[in-house]
Chains A and B, each alone.
Chain A
């Protein structure tokens, strides 16, 4: 068994603590004398996304929201690659507006590393106008009292976009349901 040397030392973006991957320099003993040390496991994955999602992420980078339509007429955003009913690869694209409706939400009172926002915010399933299936993203509601199921929200684009769901920085509330 080896405590050191077996961990890839490539850091992810979130590794905000300064602990090192080798036990040699920062190990501590547990209450019973057992050696305990922080272990960082990080991988710099580069994922291929396939033909359909390549177009999707390219369109996000260009500031467009493109979904796909299934055989039963349902529009998916983010796009479904394959029809949930027939299993065939989907190829009918639909450009969607930047507004949508919250179908359910939850409150992240203490944001965690790598999440879209660093102050408290809402998670939500959001159905874009024209889509039939909701997507997951963050809503910068400011306070828990400002978001409801049914809230109307609008995309806030990231300042720098590189292709990826984070090209959408988050959603903003555009009007409150009374």
Chain B
């Protein structure tokens, strides 16, 4: 079966905030309406709706079912849900389009990350026998990987602070970013550890957010927008879930996904990496061989706004927008899952 050309044709992101009292549905609805209006499409032209979210975060089993209220599912629609980041839902939608069952898909994701103790909640995705009963917390597990990287000499705390400082400064140009600060790495290094060797700036800020993306195939995409962001390669790999059973100073799943997605075939202008921790950005750059010519996370990335389950799709939105605007020709969007980069989805997009 020949592969269909699929492109992102429109995106919408909700300005990230903290402590929202809106329901998840009220959070999602405006971004869906916004992306539909931006693309200028009729709701009934959308052949597949796919949603990424996590019931554990909202504290309500099957809360993702409520999200269908935000779609306007009348007459009945075809939809699916991924208990994970919206970027994984995007991959499912891409596959759906490849099957020929639809030409247009809308992907959305949301996370009310601040309405519950996210660091504790994410323990529930760990090994239920050996890890969850210890209740380590997401930051603590990420910190273990950071320490391993420091010990191996492949990065320093200053390198990590530089990632954060750059991200906080770049975020000042991003209207949907939450944390913004004109700060230097040296200033950040003066701040105390939170979960050593991590400091507050090394960890993505939990925020409430939602976003939506419309994808289309072939000529439909060309009809819907002047400069679609064509998906040239996309791949998703998973390392062993067992925390100690692989080297923590590299990310083989990210490396394989990047190679399969064709990252190395040509230069990458902009790479939006879903790295909720500073050391993870450095590891991902190394895994994907991203060089000096690639601009990493001009949006500020997940460090400045980390809406769990939506931070990965946000990277796709940012990368696609840079193609739409003409500020980039070949871009990379990435999504991870797990505190130690256990799962990695990599996508390469190009403007025509």
A residues at B contact (CB < 8 Å) = 14, 30, 32, 34, 36, 39, 41, 47, 49, 53, 76, 78, 80, 84, 103-109, 112-116, 123-125, 127, 133-138, 144, 149, 164-166
The CA of A136 and the CA of B145, in the complex, are separated in Å by: 12
Given contacts A49-B129, A114-B135, A116-B134, contact A32 B244 (CB under 8 A): no
Do the beta carbons of B21 and A104 come within 8 Å of each other?
A: no
Do the beta carbons of A136 and B240 come within 8 Å of each other?
A: no
Stretch at the interface among B171-179, B189-197, B315-323: B189-197
The CA of A123 and the CA of B340, in the complex, are separated in Å by: 15
Would you give the shortest CB distance from A47 to chain B, in whole angstroms? 6
Do the beta carbons of A53 and B248 come within 8 Å of each other?
A: no
0/1 string, B123-146, CB within 8 A of A gives 1 = 000001111011111001101111
The CA of A23 and the CA of B104, in the complex, are separated in Å by: 42
Do the beta carbons of B133 and A165 come within 8 Å of each other?
A: yes
Do the beta carbons of B130 and A84 come within 8 Å of each other?
A: no
The chain B residue sitting closest to A124, CB to CB, is B144
The CA of A42 and the CA of B336, in the complex, are separated in Å by: 28
Given contacts A144-B196, A149-B151, contact A39 B244 (CB under 8 A): no
9 closest A-B pairs by CB? A106-B143, A134-B244, A107-B196, A34-B21, A114-B135, A104-B148, A30-B21, A104-B147, A125-B244
Do the beta carbons of B242 and A125 come within 8 Å of each other?
A: no
The CA of A87 and the CA of B315, in the complex, are separated in Å by: 36
Do the beta carbons of B134 and A136 come within 8 Å of each other?
A: yes
Question: Within 8 Å CB of B141, what residues of A?
Answer: 106, 123
The CA of A76 and the CA of B242, in the complex, are separated in Å by: 11
Do the beta carbons of A109 and B147 come within 8 Å of each other?
A: no
- Contact pick for B59, options A30, A39, A133, CB 8 Å: A39
Question: Within 8 Å CB of B196, what residues of A?
Answer: 106-107, 109, 144
Do the beta carbons of A165 and B148 come within 8 Å of each other?
A: no
Chain A CB within 8 A of B328 CB: no
Given contacts A30-B21, A112-B120, A133-B245, contact A166 B134 (CB under 8 A): yes
The CA of A32 and the CA of B22, in the complex, are separated in Å by: 11
0/1 string, B90-124, CB within 8 A of A gives 1 = 00000000000000000000000000000110000
Do the beta carbons of A112 and B135 come within 8 Å of each other?
A: yes
Chain A CB within 8 A of B243 CB: yes
Do the beta carbons of A133 and B244 come within 8 Å of each other?
A: yes
Question: Within 8 Å CB of A30, what residues of B?
Answer: 21
The chain B residue sitting closest to A126, CB to CB, is B244
Would you give the shortest CB distance from A42 to chain B, in whole angstroms? 11
Question: Within 8 Å CB of A124, what residues of B?
Answer: 144
Do the beta carbons of A125 and B143 come within 8 Å of each other?
A: no
The CA of A34 and the CA of B23, in the complex, are separated in Å by: 11
